[in-house]
Copies of this chain bind each other. A is one copy, B any other.
Amino acid sequence: MPNAPSDRTRVRRVPQRGQYDRETVEAILDETLISHIGFVHDGHPVVIPTLHARLGDRLYLHGSAASRMLRTLEGGAHVCATATLVDGLVLARSAFHHSVNYRSVVVFGQARLVEPEERLRALELFTEKLVPGRWPEVRPPTPQELKGTKVFELPLHEASAKVRTGPPIDDDEDYELPVWAGVLPLRTVVDPPQRDPRLDPAIETPGHVAEWRP
């Protein structure tokens, strides 16, 4: 298993949960829709949730050109992007060993503004990440819309994953206690699509919508 790519990416608490291989990091970023982006503004930390998309060794973030977060990123500020999936509640025999099963990724770095000519491709990436098959069906961005959007890329050089799986780990002497122990597995599901009230009733639900799964 690879080592941490830098000191600050090394998982300190419960280090055996740290994973530094690109495959694990990418799988978690691909399964999560959003990152929580941390940056420093006026000396204080700010954390904002934002949609993300990954291509190769880059994490893409986007938003309005007027956004405070994106203006801070544009100045070359350091950011930390963290994405988390909660997979289950871990019920131990002792209160102390209760936990959750989770998969998280932490990325440190400086984001780079994507050049205007790459922006269209990045927006396609975002749309296709949200709903695969959607991009060819919708009205593409106008030059004015592209101008009002900023896209940033954050390299994945300094990324680490932290993963907990499996049953509770109790103290040896607690295994004899008559207490139920195990995992309550959590999962995201999609409910039936809700049509826009203004949608023409003649328009049927396309496959890329009907068959979408988390």
Contact = CB atoms under 8 A, between A and B. Distances in A.
A48 interface: yes
B185 A190 contact: yes
Count copies of this chain in the complex: 2
Contacts of A67: 12-13
A182 to B, nearest CB: 4
Given A36-B47, A95-B139, A139-B93, A199 B182 contact: yes
A84 interface: yes
A138 B92 contact: yes
Interface in A75-104: 78-82, 84, 86, 88-89, 91-96, 98, 100, 102, 104
A2 interface: no
Nearest to A67: B13
A109 B41 CA distance: 14
Nearest to A107: B47
A23 interface: no
A184 interface: yes
Nearest to A149: B96
Interface residues of A, number: 97
Interface string A171-196: 00011011111111111111111111
B44 A100 contact: no
Interface in A92-147: 92-96, 98, 100, 102, 104, 106, 108, 123-124, 126-127, 130-131, 134-135, 137-142, 145
Given A34-B100, A188-B188, 16 more contacts: A8-B44, A36-B36, A36-B38, A36-B82, A38-B80, A39-B45, A43-B78, A45-B45, A89-B131, A89-B212, A91-B209, A94-B141, A95-B139, A167-B196, A179-B203, A182-B194
15 contacts: A12-B67, A34-B84, A34-B100, A36-B49, A51-B100, A167-B196, A167-B197, A168-B196, A182-B193, A184-B209, A185-B190, A185-B191, A186-B190, A187-B191, A188-B188
